[in-house]
């Protein structure tokens, strides 16, 4: 029997328009789609009518299916000759366990292709009006996981990050925001350093809260995951460059104006 192929496809951070052309092409022809919690449901509407859809979501410690089982699902369906799309939020190789899945496929002799996606680490700050680099404010940025901050032996070197990186982007860190800010402050980061927390980025539910390392925990307490944390001077540009949320505010203002216009007819 001819082996199928697995495509590890990045679905982007939420806005379905950020799926790549290659990703959309594969999604439309896939026979099996294995998708994550953070994949926009609208993307699944692009699948063919006969495609099998398998949910393999994981979020905030609640695992619907273990990673080893996901690996086996991919292997088993490809071994039956199916074209399989593994649809993953963001980019498969940026904190998406795509590397682990690729290793499992390679070990099983299953052909695979990696289709990069737009990472939330870049897209979400951009949708909040925060450029990660800027000639006047930032010549470097680092992307780290905030999921390890509770570990006694975390591999994240907060001391080096606090001293050497202009802009710090933290994924999966909302629940550990207190521990993260405490660690950065203890390693010399100035308490007034600007911080933004962006919840549900690139979607219509996006909300951005800004503050400083010393007060952001309280200011962002009401936000929900998924969230991206940005720390650095570039956050100061957010209010001026906040094009996405400002567009929704303009739409709401226009709707309010329209309602008033129905109450107060035109003079003619």
Torsion angles phi and psi, residue 184, rounded to 5? -65, -40
Per the annotation, the verdict on 36 as an active-site residue is yes
- Burial (CB count <10 Å: 0-12, 13-18, 19+), residue 177: buried
Strands of 194-199's sheet in order across:
141-145, 167-171, 227-231, 194-199, 207-212
Of the residues 58, 76, 159, 219, only one is catalytic, namely 58
Determine the Cα–Cα distance for residues 119 and 96; give it in Å rounded to an integer: 10
Of the residues 15, 88, 91, 172, only one is catalytic, namely 172
Angle between helix 98-108 and 67-79 (nearest 10): 40
Per the annotation, the verdict on 58 as an active-site residue is yes
Of the residues 15, 36, 88, 91, only one is catalytic, namely 36
DSSP secondary structure, 40-79, as one string: -HHHHTTS-TT-EEEE--EETTEESS-HHHHHHHHHHHHH
Angle at 59 between CA 42 and CA 238, to 5 degrees: 70
CB 87 within 8 A of CB 35: yes
Determine the Cα–Cα distance for residues 245 and 28; give it in Å rounded to an integer: 31
Tell me the two tokens of residue 221.
Answer: 């307490």
Q: For residue 144, give the 3-state DSSP assignment.
A: strand
Other CB atoms within 10 A of residue 86 CB: 31
Per the annotation, the verdict on 172 as an active-site residue is yes
The catalytic site residues sit at 36, 58, 172
């Amino acid at each position: 029997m001819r082996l199928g192929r697995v495509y590890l496809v990045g679905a982007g951070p939420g806005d379905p328009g950020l799926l790549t052309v290659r990703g959309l092409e594969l999604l439309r022809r896939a026979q099996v789609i294995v998708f994550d919690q953070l994949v926009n449901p609208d993307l699944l509407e692009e699948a063919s009518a006969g495609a099998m859809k398998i949910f393999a979501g994981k979020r905030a410690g609640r695992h619907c299916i273990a990673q080893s089982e996901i690996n086996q699902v991919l292997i088993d369906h490809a071994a039956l000759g199916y074209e399989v799309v593994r649809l993953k939020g963001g980019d498969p190789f940026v904190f998406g366990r795509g590397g682990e899945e690729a290793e499992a496929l390679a070990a099983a002799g299953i052909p695979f292709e990696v289709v990069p996606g737009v990472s939330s680490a870049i897209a979400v700050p951009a949708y909040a009006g925060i450029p990660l680099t800027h000639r006047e404010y930032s010549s470097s940025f680092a992307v780290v996981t905030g999921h390890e901050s509770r570990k006694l032996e975390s591999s994240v070197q907060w001391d080096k990050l606090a001293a050497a990186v202009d802009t710090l982007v933290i994924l999966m860190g909302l629940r550990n925001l207190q521990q993260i800010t405490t660690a950065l402050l203890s390693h010399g980061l100035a308490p007034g350093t600007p911080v933004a927390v962006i919840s549900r980025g690139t979607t219509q539910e996006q909300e951005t809260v800004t503050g400083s390392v010393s007060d952001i925990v309280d200011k962002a307490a009401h936000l929900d995951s998924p969230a991206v944390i940005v720390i650095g001077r570039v956050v100061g540009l957010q209010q001026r460059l906040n094009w996405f949320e400002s567009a929704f505010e303009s739409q709401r203002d226009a709707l309010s104006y329209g309602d008033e216009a129905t109450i107060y007819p035109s003079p003619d």
